[in-house]
Chain A
Amino acid sequence: MFKLTRLVTLADAARLAPLADELRALARTHTAYRTLVGPTLPGSHCGGDLLAHFAFDSAEQRDAFGAALAPLLAGDAVDGADYQGSPGGKQAPDLADGVYRVLLLSVDEGTDPTIVEGFEAETQMMPHYIPAIRNWQLSRAEAAVGARRWTHVWEQEYADAGGLMGPYMMHPYHWARIDRWFDPECPDRIVDARLCHSFCALEASIL
């Protein structure tokens, strides 16, 4: 599964619907086997106006799509990553009418790889403690665009936005355990403070 995610902050808000249509059409011509293009929901932070996510069978297909996509977004601010979706988990493969959320994050350059692996392992345990996370993938970025050199893509699916805003945020495994990797007051911090937290409506699971 070779994936590409873009968070687009539009220079002209009126372009949202036509651009979304263009992206979906482009994905069809490039035979993306999964496509999600939708306006971001309130509560997103540095998450853009439009969330666009695509999956392909090969890196070559994905990269060709990425090259064709770039001119369409040339006038907009874009954060995003190209990555190979890491095996995650599916508690709800038939999830419908839910919410897809993606977090782009940047681990400091030079961080000890063993520490990075510890961060990844703890993050991947979040669904174990927080069942509101129905499906998930934590992947390392192969390429990044935007405000930071994004290193990781943390994707989740929820039954509704309440699962993200409630259990995900308020469970102690998040704020009392995982967040220390992000908190500039904690000596364990390895993640840059600039994050892209973006979510949108989801018709059917894409993870």
Chain B
Amino acid sequence: MTADDPTAAAPMVHAIDEIVAKPGEGKALLDDYLARYAPGARARGMVLEQCLVSPPMWLDDQSNTLVFRWSLAGPGAWWQMRFVGGNNPDIGAWWAEVDARAVSRRRFFAAAPDDIESLCDV
């Protein structure tokens, strides 16, 4: 998306969840995330691009870290996702449950380096 070409598609942006599960909770938390959170996220325009588990084995006495990388079709789609999700109390309840089953959690937003210039050209 540039000033010179307003018809160009907006750069893809990413929402990344990084969840450090409580010891022994990794597999169950992953399953719940995919079964209970992912369908609603898809309905809000998010596309699950990648799901990673570290270390790549299920630990029962230590923490697994779960990483989910979602894509969205630009900042406009990001805000659409945000407005819908922000007004749904079920989503807040979901994350409260996750936080109770996690040692720590981060959600952050990112884009490819090549897209920074056009994302900032607003």
Residues of A in contact with B (beta carbons under 8 Å apart): 166-167, 169-172, 175-176, 179-180, 182-187, 193
Contact = CB atoms under 8 A, between A and B. Distances in A.
B36 to A, nearest CB: 14
A194 B104 CA distance: 26
B109 A176 contact: yes
Contacts of A166: 122
B110 A170 contact: no
Interface string B96-118: 00010000111111110000100
How big is the B interface, by class? 20 to 34
12 contacts: A167-B122, A170-B122, A172-B116, A172-B120, A175-B75, A182-B86, A183-B82, A183-B86, A183-B107, A186-B107, A187-B107, A193-B87
Interface string B11-47: 0010000000000000000000000000000000000
Given A185-B107, A187-B105, A187-B106, A170 B99 contact: no
Given A183-B86, A184-B95, A169 B79 contact: yes
B122 A175 contact: no
Given A166-B122, A170-B122, A185 B95 contact: yes
